[in-house]
């Protein structure tokens, strides 16, 4: 009986590549059962992905996000998780879904993802469509595919009987694509969960370049800046005089030129997304602006808005201070003020994050796969992982592989979904044992 049972445990190795066969001895019997279960469940995973994608869950469609959450709640409860909802009425967003297994064994693992997409009900891009091993659909890779990776990994672990006693929390937000403000409210419970975790795994889309897979150990911040200029308005014939001064447009130009020339440093980007000068400037919450002006006036108002992407809190503080110093040196007849609003904090690289990547690569080697390298931070934007990164160890980019996120025709590689689930499952297994 023992011999036959062990033979059955080797069955999943047949679906792996030839190099995997050489390294199969690194998989324990339990891990082999996890791998086999994920392969067997792969068709159901694709069917679940289709159901999720066909429910519109644009960030500003809270009813749709809630419908996705209800579907996921049933899946998680079937895996033995206790679920609860965190209302977000106060910030006008959909509720967050939290699922927990409160055991006492191994590290405390937090799995995070988001249920919303950038595609609102008004979008013409609404449905899942399959083309062989490729599928297209709104949010199919960012990040409903990532949620399916989480569930398939957990199903594999449950099937192998290794979830009992584990301390695992799944935290799914409903507004990652447009984080509600203040984020101290919209991300307060996520931050609390991060503080109570030893390791956080985030399932934003995986990244492949030139045939090599990468993981994310660092993400940059997202900070909005707004520059307002007040000047003396009047007839253009009086510009540069002691009475009128230089006007708002030249003051804006001075500041932006110095931003362009003097702020640059590694892993930092900054941009001006909109610049206007004239009079009667209004800026709507949607980002639209209106202004009045003529060719023969000295503009009395100026406005510029943009963003900063920094890799660490120290770098962000440094660039803010430099920008404020530049703004303070106003041209004659002008007065300028810059304000900042931090939308997402940076996820700085850390030894703990790199240690998680090393554990992921242990799993890769057990699967006969090459090691994954850390993705260059400039190639990844801000995300929910950043909110917990100051408090614990984080690894991101563990979700589905695809193309065209946030654009019509967004796609996912269905053939690689089981691979990501296996990687995640083995990493979780080694954290909880």
The pLDDT of residue 382 is 81
Q: Give the DSSP H or E segment for 222.
A: strand 222-231
Counting residues of the chain whose pLDDT is more than 90, the rounded percentage is 91
Q: Which residue has the tokens 């910030």?
A: 91
What is the torsional sign of CA 392, 395, 400, 404? Answer: positive
pLDDT classification of 21: cutoffs 50, 70, 90: very low
The pLDDT of residue 22 is 39
Classify domain 222-344 by CATH number: 3.30.70.360
Average pLDDT over residues 111-136: 97
Burial-class residue 419 by CB neighbours within 10 Å (0-12, 13-18, 19+). Answer: buried
Average pLDDT over residues 169-174: 98
- Is the per-residue pLDDT at 306 higher than 70? yes
Q: Which residue has the tokens 């997304």?
A: 273
d(CA 109, CA 153): 13
* Residue among 40, 230, 50 at smallest CA distance from 138: 50
Token pair listed for 179? 């984080």
Ramachandran category for residue 397: left, alpha or beta (phi over 0 → left; psi -120 to 50 → alpha):
left
The stretches of 55-212 forming alpha helices (DSSP H) are 62-78, 144-159, 183-186, 188-195
* Residue among 236, 259, 264, 262 at smallest CA distance from 249: 236
How do residues 363-399 score in pLDDT, each as one tens digit?
999 999 999 999 999 888 789 999 999 999 999 999 9
How do residues 273-298 score in pLDDT, each as one tens digit?
999 999 999 998 767 889 999 999 99
The pLDDT of residue 4 is 31
End-to-end CA distance of the chain: 27
Complete DSSP assignment for 87-123:
--GGGTSPPEEEEEEE-SEEEEEEEEEE--BS--TT-
The pLDDT of residue 114 is 98
Q: Give the DSSP H or E segment for 395.
A: strand 393-395
pLDDT classification of 8: cutoffs 50, 70, 90: very low
* Secondary structure (3-state) at 425: helix
- 186 in Cβ contact with 114 (< 8 Å): no
The pLDDT of residue 380 is 83
Q: Choose the weakest-confidence range: 20-29, 43-52, 257-266, 387-396.
A: 20-29
Average pLDDT over residues 205-234: 95
Q: Choose the weakest-confidence range: 107-116, 200-209, 281-290, 402-411.
A: 281-290
d(CA 323, CA 305): 13
- 206 in Cβ contact with 399 (< 8 Å): yes
Token pair listed for 114? 């988001």
The pLDDT of residue 195 is 98
pLDDT classification of 242: cutoffs 50, 70, 90: very high
Q: Which residue has the tokens 């957990």?
A: 154
Token pair listed for 93? 């967003």
Entry pTM: 0.86
pLDDT classification of 229: cutoffs 50, 70, 90: very high
Q: What is the largest CA-CA distance in the chain?
A: 99
CATH topology of domain 2-219+347-432: Aminopeptidase (3.40.630)
d(CA 235, CA 248): 13
- Is the per-residue pLDDT at 25 higher than 70? no
What is the torsional sign of CA 270, 276, 281, 287? Answer: negative
The pLDDT of residue 9 is 33
pLDDT classification of 300: cutoffs 50, 70, 90: very high
How do residues 57-107 score in pLDDT, each as one tens digit?
999 999 999 999 999 999 999 999 999 999 999 999 999 999 999 999 999
The pLDDT of residue 13 is 32
**HEC string for 326-366:** HHHCCCCCEEEEEEEEEEECCECCCHHHHHHHHHHHHHHHH
- 152 in Cβ contact with 52 (< 8 Å): no
The pLDDT of residue 24 is 42
Q: Prior bond to 3 cis, omega within 30?
A: no
The pLDDT of residue 144 is 98
The pLDDT of residue 26 is 81
**Domains in the chain: boundaries:** 2-219+347-432, 222-344
d(CA 142, CA 394): 19
How do residues 346-364 score in pLDDT, each as one tens digit?
999 999 999 999 999 999 9
């Amino acid at each position: 009986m023992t011999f036959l049972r062990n033979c059955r445990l080797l069955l999943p190795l047949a679906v792996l590549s030839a190099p995997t066969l050489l390294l199969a001895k690194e998989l324990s019997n339990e891990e082999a059962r996890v791998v086999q279960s994920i392969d067997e469940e792969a068709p159901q995973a694709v069917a679940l992905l289709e159901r999720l994608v066909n429910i519109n869950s644009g960030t500003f469609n809270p009813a749709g996000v809630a419908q996705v959450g209800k579907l996921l709640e049933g899946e998680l409860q079937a895996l033995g998780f206790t679920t609860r909802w965190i209302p977000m009425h106060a910030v006008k967003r959909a509720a967050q879904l939290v699922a927990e297994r409160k055991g006492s064994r191994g590290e405390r693992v937090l799995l995070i993802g988001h249920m919303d997409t950038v595609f609102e009900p008004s979008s013409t891009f609404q449905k899942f469509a399959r083309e062989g091993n490729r599928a297209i659909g709104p949010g199919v890779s960012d990040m409903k595919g990532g949620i399916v990776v989480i569930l398939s990994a957990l199903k594999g672990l449950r099937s192998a009987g290794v979830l009992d006693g584990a301390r695992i929390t799944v935290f799914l937000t409903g507004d990652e694509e447009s984080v509600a403000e203040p984020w101290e409210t919209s991300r307060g419970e996520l931050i609390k969960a991060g503080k109570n975790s030893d390791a956080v795994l985030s399932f934003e889309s995986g990244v492949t370049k030139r045939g090599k897979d990468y993981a994310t150990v660092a993400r940059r911040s997202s900070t909005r800046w707004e520059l307002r200029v007040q000047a003396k308005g009047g007839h253009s014939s009086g510009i540069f005089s002691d009475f009128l001064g230089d006007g708002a447009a030249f003051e804006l130009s001075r500041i932006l030129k110095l931003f362009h020339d003097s702020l640059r440093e590694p892993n930092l980007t900054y941009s001006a997304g909109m610049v206007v000068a004239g009079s009667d400037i209004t800026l709507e919450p949607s980002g639209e602006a209106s202004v009045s002006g003529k060719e023969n006036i000295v503009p009395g108002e100026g406005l510029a808005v943009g963003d900063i992407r920094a890799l660490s809190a120290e770098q962000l503080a440094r660039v803010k201070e430099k920008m404020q110093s530049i703004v303070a040196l106003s041209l004659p007849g002008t007065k300028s003020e810059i304000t900042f609003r931090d939308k997402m904090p940076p996820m700085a690289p850390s030894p703990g994050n790199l240690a998680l990547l090393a554990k992921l690569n242990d799993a890769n080697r057990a699967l006969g796969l090459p090691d994954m390298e850390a993705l260059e931070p400039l190639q990844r934007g801000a995300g929910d992982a950043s909110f917990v990164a100051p408090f614990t160890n984080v690894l991101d980019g563990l979700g589905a592989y695809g193309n065209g996120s946030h654009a019509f025709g967004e796609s996912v590689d269905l053939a690689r979904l089981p691979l990501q689930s296996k990687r995640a499952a083995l990493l979780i297994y080694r954290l909880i044992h």
